[in-house]
Amino acid sequence: MTKRWRRTGAQLIWETLLGEGVHTVFGYPGGAILPAYDAMLDYPIRHILVRHEQGATHMADGYSRASGEVGVAVATSGPGATNMVTGIATAMLDSSPIVCVTGQVGSALIGTDAFQETDVTGVTLPITKHNYLVTEVDEIAPALHEAFYVARSGRPGPVLVDITKDAQQAFTNRRPRLGKVDLPGYRPEPRPPETALKSAAELINRAERPVILAGHGILISGAMGQVRELAERARIPIAMTLLGIGAIPANHSLNMGMMGMHGESWVNQAIQEADLLLALGMRFDDRVTGSLKTYAPNAAKIHIDIDPAEFHKNVRVDVALAGDLSAVLAHLLPVIEARDRSEWLGTIRGFKGDTAVRDIQNLPDMGKLYAAHVIHDIWRMTGGKAIVTTDVGQHQMWEAQYYRHNEPRSLITSGGLGTMGFALPAAVGAKVARPDDEVWVIAGDGGFQMTMCELATIAQERLKLNVAIINNGYLGMVRQWQEFFYDRRYAGTPILSPDFAALARSFGLGGEVVKTRQEVEGAVERARADERTVVLDFQVEKEDTVYPMVPTGARLQDMIRRPGQEAEGDPESEGEPVGAGRTVEW
């Protein structure tokens, strides 16, 4: 007689995750998730023990952004789950597909303020794409299956599945049948009407001064090749959003660079002078538009996005095309005409003006250590091929300006939420997803201290990362705002740090302090060669500033520029990454 099929809810959790292709989870055990942890040992799952559940969510996020797969974080009820909130919100704002599995107190205890009970589906409702409270063993597999589908389809996002302890412990004889997900109200991939496609094509073919605004959606959709084809055939210059970086190689002759608050001045000027903006998988965030009243006043606007809720949200557009970017471009590309547009490209070259002269790369360091130089050197020495993760702030903007990303999914940064403490755990996720790639953390001294406990995770998992702390003794971006807009009253921004190198060594990792430009190359070389993770404490200029800058609410062209100085040498002679050719069209 054959034994009847029988599973616990806890077993079904892992069997469903394995069925979704999951082999690694980032988590932290606790009472309400204990049955799941107990069952985990019987399945081929790699569990990475984090030091704080926020780290687990950022790791899942970093894993997802590096690989395009769904990242998974596991935590217990109450404080375990509430610690995930920042990471979930980060994933939500940057459309990152992660699934969080949390334990919940027994269903009979829900609503009684039981030990470690929190209404986690209530808490995370506005920061998840969707969430589930599961109280029955037979609901576990379908809920998880649905969660993965919702997380990765359409506009991706975080999904949380909260499973009561009794549901994990209960047995079932009903084998889950997980077929096609039945969600009648969920339409992840809209299709644009033919007429809208026709109007878009006409606008593009007619435009004299078009600009492509390239966003994160290009990477998510995998439309890099098509966007490039569109730009090359129609000779349309491209401006990048922060999260779009890597979608088009930085060394592509039509890639102007980053737009927005800390974008290049000529990029913003091109947007303001454009007669057509073609927005691809981006959402006109306030950090890229500046004042909406004066934003690209003469431009017709075409917006292609998978989420119709983004249309006309910040900027009224003339043609809105809802759909997966790759699918929309497949319809659009055949009707886009080849154009020359050399006049427009020449005009933009003119906008560049004295910018190269003002670039800090071309200024003497006068014996000082500038963050821009550090990041530039890391870029040069890694051949521009590393995966870089960042927090938010000055170092993030310098990274975006001075590390030139040619590969998709090579910059992993918290854009929408602007989360300090994101970089280190996100790098763990990225390294686990792509173990053969070189991974660099670039973080500030402030943000690093928010999640530096994950150094212990890195040591325990024997992961090889390289960490560059841009240490200026201030919460630098806030200090910069205080300098510009609050009369240099540095309230709460000076920050004391531990000896980061000694701290790293205490975890069994490598650590070095770098104080001058001359030491940078050697330190970076030694860090890369070390088989352990090495933390480099770059003690940079304390009151350095990110230029250029559009003050909040100002017109995009009204940028605060770096004060002019005498340049040393040839402004075009910027360093080249090892083995990388760059055609400078701008």
Partner 1 sequence: MTPGAGERVRPHVFAVWVEDLPGVLNRVTSLFRRRGFNIESLSVGPARAAGVSRMTIVVRADDTTARRMLVQLSRLVNVLRADDIIDEPAIHHELAMFKISAAPEERSQVIQLAGATGARLVDIAPGSVVIEATASPQKIDGLAEVLRPYGILEQVRTGLVGMARGAASVMTDPDARKPPKRRRPGSDTGGGSHSV
Question: Does residue 150 bind partner 1 (CB under 8 A)?
Answer: yes
Piece of the chain touching partner 1 by CB under 8 A; list 44-52, 67-75, 120-128, 473-481? 120-128
Measured distance CA(238)–CA(261) in Å, rounded: 17
At 422, list the tokens.
Answer: 């994101």
529's CB contacts (< 8 A; 6+ apart) are: none
Q: Minimum CB separation from partner 1 for residue 7, in Å?
A: 19
Comparison of 79 and 190: residue with beta carbon closer to partner 1: 190
**Minimal distance, residue 152 CB to partner 1, in Å:** 14
Task: Give 410's contacts (C-beta < 8 A, 6+ positions apart).
Answer: 246, 385, 386, 387, 388
Catalytic option among 20, 53, 69, 399 = 53
HSE at residue 398, side-chain half, CA atoms within 13 A, is 28
Q: What single letter denotes the amino acid at residue 393?
A: G
Axis crossing angle, helix 325-332 with helix 224-234, rounded to the nearest 10: 30
Position 184 contacts partner 1 (CB under 8 A): yes
Instruction: Using CB under 8 A, pick the residue from 18, 108, 125, 330 that binds partner 1.
Output: 125
| Residue count, binding to partner 1 (CB under 8 A) | 29
- Only segment of 1-9, 117-125, 351-359, 517-525 that touches partner 1 (CB under 8 A): 117-125
The DSSP code sequence of 17-74 is HHHTT--EEEE---GGGHHHHHHHTTS--EEEE-SSHHHHHHHHHHHHHHHSSPEEEE
Q: Which of 129-137, 273-281, 513-521, 573-581 is the region at the interface with partner 1 (rule: CB under 8 A)?
A: 129-137
Work out whether 182 is an interface residue with partner 1 (CB under 8 A). yes
Closest by Cα among 424, 390, 381 to 410: 390
| By the rule CB under 8 A, 316 interacts with partner 1 | yes
CB of 31 to partner 1, least distance (A): 24
- In the bound state with partner 1, the residue whose beta carbon lies nearer, of 24 and 121, is 121
Distance CA 350, CA 345 (A): 9
Should residue 486 be labelled a site residue for partner 1 when binding is judged by CB under 8 A? no
Would you count residue 108 as binding partner 1 (CB under 8 A)? Answer: no
Q: For residues 56 and 152, give the distance between their C-alpha atoms in angstroms, rounded to a whole number.
A: 18
574 is catalytic: no
Question: Considering the complex, what minimum distance in angstroms separates the CB of residue 219 from partner 1?
Answer: 21
Min dist. Cβ of residue 203 to partner 1 (A):
19
Residue 522 CB, shortest distance to partner 1, in Å, is 52
Query: In the beta sheet, which residues pair with residue 319?
Result: 302
Residue 139 as a binder of partner 1 (CB under 8 A): the answer is yes
Residue of 42, 112, 122, 232 that binds partner 1 (CB under 8 A): 122
Stretch that binds partner 1, among 28-36, 181-189, 421-429, 559-567 (CB under 8 A): 181-189
Helix (H, G, I), strand (E, B) or coil at 283: coil
Q: Are strands 171-172 and 7-8 parallel, antiparallel or unpaired?
A: antiparallel
User: Should residue 185 be labelled a site residue for partner 1 when binding is judged by CB under 8 A?
Assistant: yes
Amino acid at 374: V
Q: Is residue 53 among the annotated active site residues?
A: yes
Structure-block tokens of residue 550: 């559009």
- Bond preceding residue 156 cis, omega within 30 of 0: no
Q: Which residues make Cβ contacts (< 8 Å) with residue 266, sequence separation at least 6?
A: 256, 348, 351, 352, 353, 355, 586
Q: Is 477 labeled as catalytic in the residue annotation?
A: yes
158-175 per-residue burial string, b: 16 or more CB within 10 A, e: under 16: bbbbbbbbbbbbbebeee
**Closest separation in Å from C-beta 293 to partner 1:** 7
**Considering only residues 100, 133, 277, 332, which one is a binding residue for partner 1 as defined by CB under 8 A?**
133
Annotated catalytic residue 229: no
Residues forming a β-bridge with 474: 494
Choosing from 26, 139, 165, 507, the catalytic residue is: 165
End-to-end CA distance of the chain: 76
Catalytic residue among 15, 116, 407, 574: 116
Q: Which of the stretches 132-140, 168-176, 348-356, 397-405 binds partner 1 when contact is defined by CB under 8 A?
A: 132-140
- By CB under 8 A, residue 130 contacts partner 1: yes
Coil, helix or strand at residue 151: helix
Query: Mask: binding to partner 1, 276-315, rule CB under 8 A, as x and -?
Result: ----------------xx-------------xxx-xxxxx
Query: Of 150 and 428, which CB lies nearer to partner 1 in the complex structure?
Result: 150
Asked if 448 is an active-site residue, the reply is no
Buried b / exposed e over 363-380, threshold 16 CB at 10 Å, is beeeeebbbbbbbbbbbb
Q: Which of 54, 83, 118, 121 binds partner 1 (CB under 8 A)?
A: 121
Q: What are the residues binding partner 1 (CB under 8 A)?
A: 121-122, 125-126, 129-130, 133, 135-136, 139, 142-143, 150, 182-186, 292-293, 307-309, 311-316
Catalytic residues: 53, 115-116, 165, 477
